[in-house]
Chains A and B, each alone.
Chain A
Amino acid sequence: MDELIKYAPDLLLSFLKNVQIAAVCAVLSLILGTILVSMRVSPTPVLRAAGTVYVNVVRNTPLTLILAFSALGLSDTLGLSFSQTPSTNGFWLVVLGLSAYTATFVCEALRSGINTVPLGQAEAARALGFTFVQSLRMIILPQAFRVVVAPLGSVMIAMMKNTTVAIAAGYLAESAFTMKDIFDDTGVSIPIFLGLIVAFMAVTLPIGFFTGWLAKRLAVT
């Protein structure tokens, strides 16, 4: 217990990095996922194919490899740099990789939602003279989102926990690495383990409850 109290400030600060990464990734992956699903259901074969290839490649690649590619491939080899400060650069490389990865799950959740929207909704929109983009934006996606709020909650919970593999992109400031660092100094501490678990649950449980509540509230009767 003493170790937990002693290292609590370090752990908490590094845990906030996990929360920051997750917050930015939530926004980016929802936007990118929506763009991807729009491609996958579009009438243009090239866009459909591009969306399908992206989702199938990225979704089936281990996240650690994607993050390593983000750091070693995009940043070191191709010279992509967000900042001169290594930790800031690392932060954004993690955000980039994790968003690109999570967006594929957002896309597939949304696509299953789109499949639940009756075909007649799209036909009615087309019959009124809506373009494909208008009908997707105003009629199809709003109804698809309502259906998949709860599954999207699960995607976001998984994404929050996935922030702990940020070290794969060379980012060392997040909490799982900090914990391991502390263990290297002081030996393994069960209270620190439990403390970190509690911290994660303090974020992920509310995501689950909130999206569950929202799903019920938004359900189209």
Chain B
Amino acid sequence: MTETGNATDRQGALVVLDNVNKYYGNLHVLRNINLGIERGEVVVVIGPSGGGKSTLCRTVNRLESIDSGTITFEGRPLPAEGKGLARLRSEVGMVFQSFNLFAHKTILENVTLGPIKVRGIPPKDAEKRGLELLERVGIAAQAHKHPAQLSGGQQQRAAIARALAMNPKMILFDEPTSALDPEMVQEVLDVMIELAGEGMTMMVVTHEMGFARRAANRVVFMAEGQIVEENTPEEFFTNARTDRAKDFLSKILTH
């Protein structure tokens, strides 16, 4: 049983995916995806590997194109290319599994480059704000180091600061803690939980069930390219409606 709701219910949503399909050759990686994300909402996408979670996340800022269906942001379809697409991306932050900090730039430069070059903010102002953000994620002391000199957890917090520096309307998190050593997962999750608490709109692909319980407004369970179940975190973890989700949960919660 799939609970999706139709597009007209989600007119006011920040992001609406309507009947989205995507193929890699013969592989149908996204199947009839319908999903709306409200302003201020934290949607956690979970599910088995290869189920299309990351692909779904990456379609929202068009790092992945789609083959059919529509995606709208603030009621307008995603621009296909050019300046319009660049502008959209500047409004949708993204945090990657492997951090992807610019390796030849310092942490502070990583955080200020977007505001300066894309937004045209004066370097002095961008630096001031950049340092505030680094302070906020707890790595101000590392501002003038290069990414390779930081731990994974510090790098990922810098990446979150980099996304925040653009004052995004939404942030996409694509498995933000999957590449981290276990002892560094929490420091990143803490920053994300704080952001969620402040009302940031977030789409989070993760295997961290604890984060989903604590910070999510809604859990989207994906498998084989489909949204199998949408539910509140409480309901999903204690009383999942679908067998596919129950099966998945039994495998990860009992180990």
Which A residues are within 8 Å of any B CB, using their own CB? 118, 120-121, 123-131, 134, 138-139, 142-143, 146, 220-221
Main secondary structure of the interface of A (DSSP, over half): helix
Q: Is the CB of A129 within 8 A of B90?
A: yes
16 A-B pairs with C-beta separation under 8 A: A118-B100, A121-B100, A124-B94, A124-B102, A126-B63, A126-B89, A127-B92, A129-B87, A129-B89, A129-B90, A129-B114, A134-B118, A138-B117, A142-B104, A220-B146, A221-B149
Closest to A137 in B: B117
Is B101 in the interface zone, CB < 8 Å from A?
Answer: yes
Contacting pair A123 B89 (CB below 8 A):
no
The answer to whether A129 and B86 have CB atoms under 8 Å apart is yes
Is B104 a contact partner of A128 (Cβ separation < 8 A)? no
**A128 neighbours in B (Cβ, 8 Å):** 89-90, 113-114, 118, 162, 166
CB distance from A11 to the nearest CB of B (A): 44
B4 interfacial contact with A, CB 8 Å: no
Identify whether the interface residues of B are mostly helix, strand, loop, or mixed. Answer: mixed
| Chain A residues within an 8 Å CB radius of B221 | none
- Residues from chain A with Cβ under 8 Å of B61 in the complex: 127
A54 CB to nearest chain B CB (Å): 25
Give bound CA distance, A125 to B94, whole Å. Answer: 10
Given A143-B103, A220-B103, 20 more A-B residue pairs with CB atoms under 8 Å apart are: A120-B100, A121-B100, A121-B102, A123-B63, A124-B100, A124-B102, A126-B86, A127-B61, A128-B118, A128-B162, A129-B86, A130-B86, A130-B118, A131-B86, A134-B118, A142-B104, A143-B104, A146-B104, A220-B104, A221-B149
CB neighbours of A130 from chain B (8 A): 86, 114, 117-118
